[in-house]
Amino acid sequence: MAEDQDRTVPLPENPEPQQPDGAATPASGPASEPMPTPPPPPAPGQTPPAQPYQAAAPQGQPQQPFAPGQSVNPYGQPAPGYYQQPTKSGKATGALVCGIFAILLAWAPLFGIILGIVAIVLAVKAVKEAGKDGKATGGKVCGIIGIVLSVLSFILYLVIGFGAMAYLAANPGSVTVVDNAPYADSSSGLNATEDEKQAEAVAQAELDKLKNQDPAFVQQLAAQLDAEFADSAGYSLAELGVDPVAFVQWLLADFDYQLDGTYTNSDGTGTTYADVTMRDVYAFASTFMTDATAFSRSTEAGSMDEAAMKAKLGELFNAAMEKTTDTTESYIGVDLVKQGDAWVIDEESWADETELLFGNL
């Protein structure tokens, strides 16, 4: 018994850790990789260096490092920046301008449609070059509106034109022709044509008095102009030493006319229109007034009595006739009234017309 108590059991030199019952012994493998050594801390006041960002790579592929600040998409590839400076295109402005003018010129269908198409084309090109733009969108919308309005205008013109043609076809007696000129019908049939011919002959005879300087008409017109000059200037032409008849003859020196149609109405009135060529009485009046004003401001005028002043004004009046040889064109209407079966000149209306024609001197 004693010997058993004194016996000692030697322990192993390198004891292995005991595994729990049923635990598997880990398989031996390669040595684990060493942990990366962290960079040394920066010196005081020094900015630490930027560390490259390494995105997670898909399984089985190596990771790719990216520069600091570079965006990375979910697949580990570089992505463009979050903000890009938009490019501008002058076509957007051109599209907007053309679109606005397409609306403004819609009353002229051809121009409106052309400008509208140009606006749409420029807007599409601007979007392709620089992306969506407010000006490009506005130009496209205005171009479409301009085209629509132009088409509507064209349809309206067609409706009006066909309506007028239909009316003329349904009323063939509404327009008659006399000496290749259109005249409005006053009644119907051949009587209307003859009526207008008679009215035109009376007006033509009155205009011939001016063209041929009929003596009686010249005397009448000279008296009228002399009285009008006295009302406006305070002196008559005769008091200034100017012959009113000579003045009328100067006015009618280049007088000529071309008839432009006679229109008669069922109420017994009518009008003959004519293009007239004659001396420019307003240019003459301007020349005379300029010379007379310059004279009145001279020292010579201050030393003259009234008789000498009148004589000087008459001299300036005659000189203005010699200086002014310009002609002008006018459009006049000779009004007529029917008395019984004959047409006569409306004297009151004709006096007003000649006053406008020769000027209110």
Q: Is the pLDDT of residue 89 over 80?
A: no
Of 98, 125, 133, nearest in space to 113 by CA: 98
Minimum mean pLDDT range among 5-19, 77-91, 255-269, 295-309: 5-19
Range with lowest mean pLDDT among 86-90, 103-107, 208-212, 232-236: 86-90
Model pLDDT for residues 31-52, shown as the tens digit of each residue:
445 555 556 666 665 555 555 5
Q: What type of residue is 336?
A: L
Angle, CA 108 vertex, CA 106 and CA 113 arms, to 5°: 60
DSSP sequence for 291-349: HHHHHHTSHHHHT--HHHHHHHHHHHHHHHHHH---EEEEEEEEEEEEETTEEEE-HHH
Cβ neighbours of 361 (radius 10 Å): 20
Cβ-based neighbours of 152, under 8 Å, separated by 6 or more: 106
- For residues 288 and 270, give the distance between their C-alpha atoms in angstroms, rounded to a whole number: 38
Backbone angles phi, psi at 66, to 5 degrees: -130, 155
Q: Which of 10-14, 191-195, 249-253, 274-278 has the lowest mean pLDDT?
A: 10-14
Q: Residue 322 is encoded by which pair of tokens?
A: 């010699």
Q: What is the pLDDT of residue 165?
A: 77
Three-class SS state of 105: coil
The two three-digit tokens of residue 124, written as one number: 């599409």
| pLDDT score for 189 | 38
Whether the pTM exceeds 0.95: the reply is no
Q: What tokens were used for 112?
A: 């409106």
Going by DSSP bridges, is the β-strand pair 342-345/327-339 parallel, antiparallel, or unpaired? antiparallel
pLDDT of 115 reads 87
Give the tokens for residue 137: 């969108």
- Report whether 232 contacts 339 (CB < 8 A): no
Structure tokens at 280: 């420019």
- Tell me the torsion sign for CA atoms 72, 75, 78, 79: negative
294-328 pLDDT tens trace = 888 888 877 888 888 888 888 998 999 999 888 98
Residue 92 has pLDDT above 60, yes or no: yes
Residue 136 pLDDT exceeds 50 = yes
pLDDT at 176: 45
pLDDT above 90 coverage of the chain, percent = 16
8 A C-beta contact, residue 143 and residue 120: yes
Residue owning tokens 């992505």: 79
Q: In this predicted structure, what is the pLDDT of residue 346?
A: 92
